[in-house]
Structure 1
């Protein structure tokens, strides 16, 4: 019960506004009339006028000008007691509308003009008051500024006098301090230069020592591998494994040698060994050894060498490292089905060597750093950053020059020129004996795996391996081939495509890959309803919490650092598969489908809720098929089959049958439907088939199950 009359009238007015918005005009009008009566009886003339305006508006809305006139005349009387310009304008405008509805157009026009006149008068009054206010503010500000200016002038004069005194003292102090500063700067720079020299020496010694430390164990690794490869009784599979080990051991030895060369260049210990020989034959033999590697990637590898009939002067070791590094680099960064052109020519006592490859190219920013030591491109983050730096330093060491040009997403060209005449080199740099030219260079890349995308055993869990390194991909495939059905991809983009197509049970992916890396792959698959349930293990050659955090943030289920133990990786894969199987067992024991209990991710829960909705709508329809099921959830039959198999361990058809049987069991326990009708009521067309399926699932007939109530 509201005792305060003012509060009561305000509540009535508010309720009237609510009814007005709901277009309940009659109810609104009654509420406004009650509010008007209370306000007027308590001499609240302004509030009464507002309520009367609402009644007049409603009357006009209901095409009742007579009632409107009555309240508008009431407002005129009230507004004379408590005048309000806004109320008066609203009253006159409503009078105009009332006369318009009554057909008295001349009076309607008269009141429109009157309302307009009052509005204009109010605007003029408000403008005049605003102008006066601004003038007052301006006058006050101007006076304040004049006073502040006089104060500032006085303070400035005082500061000027003080500044002149301080300047003299400061000048003397500054001169003294500058002398001390320059002295200490000189001493500090001298100390810094000495430290930098010491650091260069330590760094050079470190590279030299660590390179030599690597060479001994690498030799011990290579020797038994080479002996094993010579064993004719060795199986082809084991030979392939040893060949992979040998190839990567040679690669590591090559990197160690490059570190040694850079260290020697820094120390000034590397000396030119200029000998006489046929340089075009030598480069031809070097390039020939890369034909197989290029053909394996289906790269068109063209070598154009203008034959040279005379011998020239060059350092065999330096030229070999320059040429092999540039060709290896071109093959590495040329995509499958790409093209490499290598042009060699000797003119005016200079060797001209050009190599051009198609591919992603090099950006302007990367071009500025491409020859810096240990620099790696931002996109792929591959390699050591040693090869091209060594090439540039060896070219300049050989008194030549090298440049690179690139068109992003099209091609890259390396051009180098090296002098090959005797006069270009010092006498102590020339070795007397002649270079023995090779017939060919041994090809070391003999064993390459195929992509292994064939499907072998559909009953095994499906494992997708995404790895750009061919040897690692082969080893991973070989590790899991006996227990898993394997599909492989060489980059993240291909991995995503295969995952969406096949819906594997688990994925192992490298992080650092071209085109699309492992983090991007994980994020994309975890955000897709088709693949959100798939466990993903990320591999990386980089250790540290930051890289683990990348894996966690993208939604990866586990993370392992290279080099890794195959036993640990096998155990991790098996554990993730086991966790999925436990979820499937939990489903099989539940009578009611609970999406939250089955789902691992939010997307999985959303998917199972969608499945639940479809079942609620369609399950009892005998015609409801797997085709209908897949179409309704927006997946292909195979995708739905793989998704359900992963989440609950059942195919789509098995899942529908399982849900129908669970519903039948519930009906048998809780209702009094005729047992012969239960099967038909849950979607089975054939009672005998229903009874057979029920007994296979619950180890008893429907009748026996019902009698257990």
Structure 2
């Protein structure tokens, strides 16, 4: 019995030992089979190793038979197929095994670092490996060192430490080659692709992707092949984008390099989508879908972006990928924003913001206010957009400012922590510490790491986000400049369109006036038709002036010329302009106008426009065969002007809108009444400028009453802001003269049309002569008024008696400007801007201009560039090459506005370069500046010439008569010779003579008039300066007092029988100059 029991015991013991040996062999066999399958069939390898895992954790007796490398391989396989939760579970279980933790702490730190990297916790990752640096770098265990340098390179890549990452990965690759570990070599190439992507070295990234593809195909790694395909797809697409952006001609779709990379990207994308579903790789699938989102967004395929974003959101939600879901929500919101669904977009952005907060990714949180700003900007809510942009700018600034400050603290703490860890390690080598004490110290370090992790993450994103912040700051500046430029562009648009219309209308008005004057018929009907057309053209010009006036009112640039006015005369004048329109609609005017008590101070043009607008609206909305009543009512301190019509009145819903700009009432639109809706708005602005009011009130019966309320006197005006001009009798007298001249011109032209062959020729000649005198006298009277208003020093009698000969002489003395352009409209526009102060000559092309320049010697040339036969640049070069014309001032006026065009134009010899569309005031200012500069140079030249000739006698004694007076006259002429304003009047005033006395004196002594004597002295001085080469012809002309180069050339040729350019240097002077 006892022996039987002993036998059974040995059999049982033998069975247990046999089972243990079989189990040990099974564990090792599973590991070897898993190693063989890890690349080609990672899921099969996992199933084998999971059996060892169950045996290890569930059976304490078998735990010692499972080596640590089994779990490390299983951990890496879980990461390979994107099962990070399973990998983390293994890591946490191994940490509970004290024996494993003590003997494999360095390996566990590597595993923990990989988990933290997956969770974007780079700071914690670095701290985990720090205590074991000696183990990693001593190279005693090459496999441990290989994995350390690989994980360290991945960490440095995430932290933008590119140099360190390349170094670490290079060391890892060398060790992997020595150990023949293809799995690590594949992962190293994957990290290199990420590094090259961060550095925008896409060509290198493509090479690394191809190396990775070669490796995975060699070993049959399907999951590695999927990652390599994703990398090839990304790199080829980024290279295609790079080619497209670098192609200045914007024809990249035909570029072979672009097509190669773009088509390759599409091919790889299709392969990725097929493999993702087959392998069920969540990480690769999400990476591919996020890439597709960005790709579709870059190609403006909003629907594609939304489609892939929704797929990614669903997949990320199913697998607990919070950060990837936040990114996809962000892209979805951007897509909806560009589709115009702004509210939904902003709602999704708020949801993405909550997910970003869960990941504690402060860099990603900065994207939310930026995208919200863009959403409100696209919607047109610029105020809210600017508020969000300011919020983004402020947060980004604080983000990087704190990162800079906290990075220093973190580095100091890191150094201290490393030093402390070294001391702990030294103590561990000296003596074994109590396990509980070690655990307490380790927990303390972990608490410190948790406190600093946020600071470390912020500092690691500093360099990446800095570029983005700078780009956004540039964008903000560009936006500010764009808003300012929009304001300027708006003003330029009004000016340019007004000039275009004004040019056409001016031509039309001129033609109608000529036809109206020459029309010779016995009936007034044709002439009346022409007058209607002429009045309507003038009305169109007035409308253009209203547009410009509204622009000036909006920019607070409206000039206000307040003076005493007579409202009755202005009202009657406006009513006369409406006679034709009133007659066509058979509308009668009932005027109840009282004499005005007191003085009315108002800008006459503003009062006329205001009343004209009310009367125009009344006529517009009044039915045919009706009546318009005009009342002028005096009150103690104000004047009221009423315009009462019988029209439809104003709807109750529109009463508060009639004075808003561009508003047109329902009656105006229903009856297709012409108008832009700016008239009443303008009237309100003008009345406010003069402290008045305008109102529109419905009548009890029918129609509407428009009321202008004007304050009497001038005490209500602010003298600091508005200048009140007092009108004297001389102006009133000149106004009456102008009125009479207008009457003569109107009635005379009408009578001339009715003259036939049977009329008395003498009467006809007398009528023509009176018309001519009126036409000549009117501009002279206008000029006289301008002189009076500007406070000229001339006497009233002298201004009123300007004769036509002096007027012609002044026109002749004006500077000559040549306009060169093949577009007649541009030439007319330039002429209208310059002809008031200058004598204008026109040429259609450069060839014609060159011929005219030789004969006319203009003071300044304004030329276009693109012209037939001879363009502006060629004309400039030929003028500069010609000695006779090289001195002329040239301004190029063209539509070529690029910087290189401007440089090219100035290098050709032009003095200035103006780009179309141009501002007329700027053009006139530049022309005046050039001519003024030339005059200053000439005056300086003449003073230098006079100074150098002071020792020479400047007085010619004629017949020994009146030597003293003669010397005085010559001295006065010599002192003022360079002043173009010096004339005969100043000459006899300086001599204390009357004009007639000076005339008799110069005729007796010099045998010529004072005017010719002054001209002779100027020509003599110019002759000497030309001989001495004191300057160019134009500079000398201005230096001796001529205002126009053409008049100087003509006078010089008449006096010396040769052109100024033909004067040669005297022989003695030439010898002196050559020596």
Please state which band the TM-score falls in when normalised by the shorter chain.
0.3 to 0.5
More relative contact order in 1 or in 2 (CA 8 Å, sep 6+)?
A: 1
Largest Rg, 1 or 2: 2
Q: Which protein is richer in helix relative to its size?
A: 2
